[in-house]
Chain A
Amino acid sequence: MARLSLDGVSYWYPAMERPALSDVTLTVAPGEVVALVGSVGAGGSTLLLVVAGLAPRVVGGRLTGDVKRDTEVAIVLPTPWTQVSGMAFTVWDEVAFGPANLGWPRERIAAAVDRSLARLDIAALAPRDPATLSGGELQRAILAGALAMEPRLLLLDEPTAELDPAGARACWRLVRALAREDGTSVVVATSDLDAVPELADRVVWMDRGRLRRAGSPAEVLADEALWREGPGGPAVARAWRAAGCPESGSVPLTVADAVGRLR
Chain B
Amino acid sequence: MSRLHPFTLLALAASLPLLAWILPAPGGALAPACVALLLAAAAGPRRVLLPALLTAAPFWLFLFILHGVTGMTAYGVRLTAMIASFVWLVAVLPPARLVEAMVAAGWGAPSAYLFAATLSAVPVLRQRARRIVEAQRCRGLSSRGSPAARFRALRALALPLVLSALHEVDERALALESRGLAAGHRRTPLAPPPDSPAQRSARWGLVLACVLALAWRLVWRG
Contacts and interface: CB of A to CB of B under 8 A. Distances in A.
Nearest to B179: A98
B99 interface: yes
Interface in B160-187: 168, 170-181, 183, 185-187
Interface stretch (A51-59, A193-201, A208-216): A51-59
A148 B125 CA distance: 30
B120 A100 contact: no
A102 B174 contact: no
Contacts of B175: 77, 82-83
Interface stretch (A88-96, A166-174, A218-226, A227-235): A88-96
Contacts of A97: 179
B177 A54 contact: yes
Given A77-B175, A87-B116, A100 B188 contact: yes
B174 A59 contact: yes
A102 B180 CA distance: 6
B124 interface: yes
A71 interface: no
Nearest to A105: B188
A82 to B, nearest CB: 4
Given A102-B180, A103-B188, A54 B174 contact: yes
B39 interface: no
B188 A149 contact: no
Interface string B183-202: 10111111100000000000
Nearest to A97: B179
Interface string B78-109: 00000000000000001110010000000001
A77 B179 contact: no
B113 interface: yes
A228 B131 CA distance: 41
Interface centre among B96, B116, B189 (most CB of A within 10 A): B96
Given A85-B176, A93-B190, A100-B190, A77 B185 contact: no
A58 B95 CA distance: 24
B96 A100 contact: no
| Interface size classification for chain A | 20 to 34
A103 B187 contact: yes
B174 A96 contact: no
| Interface size classification for chain B | 20 to 34
A59 B169 CA distance: 11
Interface in B40-82: none
B96 A88 contact: yes
Contacts of B177: 54, 57-58
Contacts of A88: 96
Given A79-B171, A83-B175, A87-B116, A104 B95 contact: no
Contacts of B120: 86-87
B117 interface: yes
Interface in A32-75: 49, 52, 54, 57-59, 73-75
B77 to A, nearest CB: 34
Contacts of A106: 188, 190
Given A77-B171, A89-B96, A149 B113 contact: no
Contacts of B173: 58
A74 B188 CA distance: 19
B101 to A, nearest CB: 12
Interface string B124-160: 1000000000000000000000000000000000000
Contact of B183 (A52, A85, A102): A102
Contacts of A87: 95-96, 99, 113, 116, 120
Contact of B178 (A74, A79, A109): A74
Contacts of B178: 52, 54, 73-75, 77, 146
Contacts of A100: 187-190
Contacts of B181: 101
A138 B117 CA distance: 21
Contact of B171 (A82, A98, A103): A82
B172 A101 contact: no
Contacts of B171: 77, 79, 82-83
Interface of A: 49, 52, 54, 57-59, 73-75, 77, 79, 82-83, 85-89, 93, 96-106, 109, 145-146, 149
Across the A-B interface, the 7 shortest Cβ-Cβ residue pairs: A103-B185, A101-B180, A82-B171, A83-B175, A98-B179, A87-B96, A100-B188
